[in-house]
Structure 1
Amino acid sequence: MKAFTSSLFRTSDSLSLFAAPSSSSFSSRTQISFPQRLFLCRAEIDGSVSLVNVPANLLVAEKEEAKAVLHMYLTSQGMNRLNAARKMKKLDLFIDHLLLRLHTVYKTRYLVGRELTTPEIRDALIPYLDELLEEHGDDFVEVLEYFPIPLVKDKSEETEQKVSSNDIENSTTRVSSIEPTTNTKKLTASRASNIGEPNLPPHVVYLEELGMERDVIKEVIRKFPAFAYYSLEGKIKPVVEFLLDLGIAKSDIPVIISKRPQLCGISLTENLIPTMAFLEDLGVDKKKWAKVIYRFPALLTYSRSKLQSTVDYFYELGLSSQDVGKVLTRYPSIISYSVEEKLRPTAQYFDSIGVNPAVLMSRCPQAFGLSIETSLKPVTEFFLQKGYHIADFALMASRYGALYTFSVEDNLLPKWEYFLTMEYPKSELVKFPQYFGYSLEERIKPRYEIVKESAVRLLLNQVLSLSDEDFYKLLKRKVKKKNACA
């Protein structure tokens, strides 16, 4: 745990949070003082920040996005999503503070009436949270929870002592015009309930015209409340029209928005288009943007640093620039995986059993999204139990990484049992592990029965991988040759 030293309490770089106590009631408390920069976004009389003229709907939307950023940050530091959601309920004061900080950082944007985009909010808050984490170390979460009250360090009766409301008023200024802690849920609920009324909000009418079901719109707002406050003309419509221009079908727009409503909070000229250009430089096929965005619209909402760090790891694995481009195009959701918590441990597992992680990544990147314990190990153990050496299985997995995406009980086992009746040596599966990718009832059994009736022998690859036309041509030649030799 990062130690708090006397330097944290210097009068020159911190603000007093409380009036001098009249008794020794706080004598055993260890106070965490907050540096002045923590309070730069207070509303001051000198007019440095004014929220009076900011529309209430924008304040609510920005607060929801600030909450989303903070929740994401807590999970990125190792807190699971459920605990992070519970902790967020205790951080209203700090979230208000983050909102005020936004209005200081982007003061000029508000002066010209410009809405903040999702990346702008994220870019302003994440570096600030990084600074607080670096300063307070293991006490980071407690600092946020007790904001702006000094953290109680000693476990005594005084730990339960409540600070009076007068002390809190003296310690900091909450801007009453925002009222996010009491009204945010009511306002959001009101927006969602209004969807069922005759006079629908214009963005709801627009989305319904695109084919988006009203229940889906309600669900989007429930999961991402800020969407209810997005401007139709300023945010939603420009993004939708841009997606249509890329070649995305109108019928796919509702799916994309429901998957990632934050996409509509991104500025086209300042964020979305530059991010696409950045990804194209990394190898994403510009001709396939429609498919890429439909598969994983969240790709365009990640920060440049996140995108670059994942790509850097691909190079570290040994992928070529061409392979990187193919991976990002074919399986863009790979970007959502943490390098240290997901990609690297999975690559280390593959390496430990003799499978080249770079080869597997280029051929089957989705294998890196599977759980090592519940998906990868059971598949490996299944083939080892069937008598294959680890080197043979490593060859099978390298040739056909999709093996790891199949269920042992529902796919591998029934196809294995049928394979044992096909009179092929087990080595045939080492040569052609793609066998497990074909339908047992619609491909494997019908084709093999035809081969048996013809009384000829074909390689497993020839039985399954050829088109119907080529399969029957080959079968005819084999039968003709057999008859000629008879």
Structure 2
Amino acid sequence: MAPAGATSLHSSLCNFSPNKPTPIQIPTQLGPKPKSLLQKHPLYTPTHTKLSLDFKEKILCLEIMGVDAGKALSQNPLLRNVSMESIHSIISFLHSKGIQEKDLPRILGMCPKILTSNIKSDLNPVFDFLSQDLKVPDHSFRRVINKCPRLLTSSVQDQLKPALVYLQRLGLRDLSALAYQDSVLLVSSVERTLIPKLKYLEGLGFSKEETRDMVLRCPALLTFSIENNYVPKFEYFCGEMGRKLEELKEFPQYFAFSLENRIKPRHMEVVQSGISHMPLAVMLKSTDEEFKELIKQRTG
């Protein structure tokens, strides 16, 4: 939590009125930290030392909110010209939707584009979508946005609704799960992300129906990287483990476990213990203590 002095200064900065152009005394102790990305930003090179008061206010306001101003400016250059009044309006709007002060560093840090959004055309439609299409009650907006801040930077017409329609056609019709657990799927491109994952699974030898059933049992399959997740884990599954596709069909959650920290060590221990076979779910889902007990029971 920010100290009382910082909170007071944040209030004065983020609530300033253009009708009261009173100069602000910026305490030196609240200047940008030496190792902050802000110091490396082009605006802070020796040729840009004369920064406007408005811009300094903006930087200080972001930093006090817990947002790395340098990183935010790099990811969203439009912040350079947006007014403090506009930033204050957006923050006030988010507060009105249940977003708390302590949520802002993560939300705005991940998606600084929010600070240059249009409330009427960009942000309001997202909350309407949550309410009308996902049936999220007003008091749960905060939970959904904290789960996936990218919702606030996604177009309802071009991204969220098309993704929802596709996922529902696929069979993911639990709106509560889509809102509170799998909301990242709603901000994923149907053509560039969702469909290629399904095609890859089909390419492994699963039928369309089997692939669909696997995804319905483990929606996270649609979020995994083909190159960094599917390929190495499937190669290990077929090569080192010598297992059959049927096991993946029964336990698609295999792809959700760490190859280096869970799959490999446990498979090696099973092999070294001389156990001929242990179901994937039993081998991977058990806790460390449960796994040790299983090994003991089967070798004792």
TM-score, structure 2 length as denominator? 0.70
Q: Deviation at 1:257?
A: 4.6
The aligned residue for residue 169 of structure 2 is: 352
Superimposed CA distance per residue, residues 123-180 of structure 1 (whole angstroms, 9 cap, x where no aligned partner): xxxxxxxxxxxxxxxxxxxxxxxxxxxxxxxxxxxxxxxxxxxxxxxxxxxxxxxxxx
Conserved? CA contact 1:354–1:391, under 8 Å: no
Conserved? CA contact 2:182–2:220, under 8 Å: yes
Distance 1:273 1:373, change over 3 A: closer
The aligned residue for residue 41 of structure 2 is: 216
The aligned residue for residue 123 of structure 2 is: 307
The aligned residue for residue 475 of structure 1 is: 295
Q: Deviation at 1:456?
A: 5.8
1:231-380 alignment runs, 5 A limit? 231=54, 234-241=57-64, 243-244=65-66, 252-260=68-76, 262=79, 265-267=83-85, 270-280=88-98, 284=99, 287-305=102-120, 306-321=122-137, 324-356=141-173, 358=175, 359-380=177-198
SS in 2 for 1:207: coil
Q: Deviation at 1:371?
A: 3.0
User: Residue 416 in 1 paired to residue 231 in 2?
Assistant: no
Conserved? CA contact 1:444–1:464, under 8 Å: yes
Choose from 445, 448, 451 the match for 2:264.
445
TM-score, structure 1 length as denominator? 0.46
Calculate the aligned-residue CA RMSD, in Å.
Answer: 4.0
Q: Deviation at 1:233?
A: 6.0
Which of 1 and 2 has greater Rg? 1
Distance 1:331 1:441, change over 3 A: same
Q: Deviation at 1:114?
A: 7.8
Counterpart code for 1:296 = C
CA–CA distance in 1 between the matches of 2:131 and 2:20?
Answer: 43
Q: Which runs of 5+ in 2 are unaligned?
A: 1-16
Conserved? CA contact 2:18–2:85, under 8 Å: no
The aligned residue for residue 207 of structure 1 is: 32
Q: Deviation at 1:376?
A: 2.0
CA–CA distance in 1 between the matches of 2:279 and 2:244?
Answer: 11
Q: Percent identity?
A: 24
SS in 1 for 2:124: helix
SS in 1 for 2:41: helix
CA–CA distance in 2 between the matches of 1:256 and 1:471?
Answer: 45
CA–CA distance in 2 between the matches of 1:258 and 1:367?
Answer: 26
CA–CA distance in 2 between the matches of 1:218 and 1:375?
Answer: 36
Superimposed CA distance per residue, residues 366-406 of structure 1 (whole angstroms, 9 cap, x where no aligned partner): 33333333322221122223343434323332343332233
CA–CA distance in 1 between the matches of 2:252 and 2:214?
Answer: 6
Conserved? CA contact 1:327–1:361, under 8 Å: yes
Conserved? CA contact 1:346–1:372, under 8 Å: yes
Conserved? CA contact 1:367–1:404, under 8 Å: yes
